[in-house]
Amino acid sequence: MAQRVVFLDRDGVLNRAFPEGGTTRPPMTLDELELLPGVPAALERLRAAGFARVVVTNQPDVARGKQTRAAVEAINAKMCAELPLTDLFACYHDTADRCDCRKPKPGMLLAAAAKWDLDLPAAFLIGDRWSDVAAAAAAGCRGVLIDTPFSSPERCSPDHTAADITAAVDWVLKTAAAEATGRTAAR
């Protein structure tokens, strides 16, 4: 049976992103990697509820020459070691590369679904940008937007908006539980 999953954006959802020039930038080094409050507990709640936890992250600074792929991979490896994550998919391209993986395209979600036998219609994504929510919609998943000054909510249609990962997971678990109850009642 296909498994339930919550996809998670990385920067601004799991770890702190740094405001710079009207947008945000990711941590450049392991020293800058700082988990946001409530992240380990939120992921543990998803694990306990039977959801796979899969990170899907755009890292265009590699294509832009602002960061090395090795530096990004070191940060990703540390996050996977410290947090209860199932897997992590990263796109190292920029828009001009026209790849299939850079969000708002759904390529990373579809690759994860094929690898882990994920139930996309039952899936959720938690992200902090319109492109995260748009990628979720393109893959047939529900999208939860963590609203920040950089989210551009007018460019997407989130199923829910939350202040942080704790509130986002509250909604995901409440919604999934209501669906499970509905299925039981329909039998």
Using CB under 5 A, list all residues that contact Zn ion. 91, 93, 99, 101-102
Alpha helices in the chain (DSSP H): 39-48, 69-82, 107-116, 130-138, 165-186
* Interacting residues toward Mg ion by CB under 5 A: 9, 11-12, 128
The answer to whether the annotation marks 9 as part of a ligand binding site is yes
Q: Answer whether 152's CB lies under 8 Å from 134's CB.
A: no
Residue for token pair 């994860």: 112
Residue 119 annotated as lining a ligand binding site = no
Task: Answer with the entry of Zn ion, Mg ion, none that 12 interacts with (C-beta below 5 to 8 A by kind).
Answer: Mg ion
Q: Return the number of the residue (128 or 164) whose C-beta is nearest Mg ion.
A: 128
Question: With respect to Mg ion, which residue has the nearer C-beta, 12 or 27?
Answer: 12
Residue 85 Cβ vs Mg ion, minimum distance, rounded to whole Å: 16
* From the list Mg ion, Zn ion, none, partner contacted by residue 9 (C-beta under 5 to 8 A by kind): Mg ion
**Does the annotation flag 99 for ligand binding?**
yes
Nearer to Mg ion, 11 or 61 (CB): 11
Q: Which residues are catalytic?
A: 9, 11
Q: Which two tokens stand for residue 19?
A: 């405001």
Cis peptide before 153 (omega within 30 of 0): no
Residue 138's binding partner, choosing from Zn ion, Mg ion, none, with beta-carbon cut-off 5 to 8 A by kind?
Answer: none
**142-146 and 160-162 strand pairing:** parallel
- Taking the least distance from each CB to Mg ion, the nearer of 11 and 164 is 11
Measured CA to CA, the distance from residue 137 to residue 99 in angstroms comes to: 18
Sign of CA dihedral 87, 123, 169, 44: negative
Rounded to whole angstroms, the Cα distance separating 73 from 31 reads: 14
Q: Would you say 156 is a known binding-site residue?
A: no
101 interface partner picked from Zn ion, Mg ion, none, CB below 5 to 8 A per type: Zn ion
Residues tagged in the binding site annotation for Zn(2+): 91, 93, 99, 101
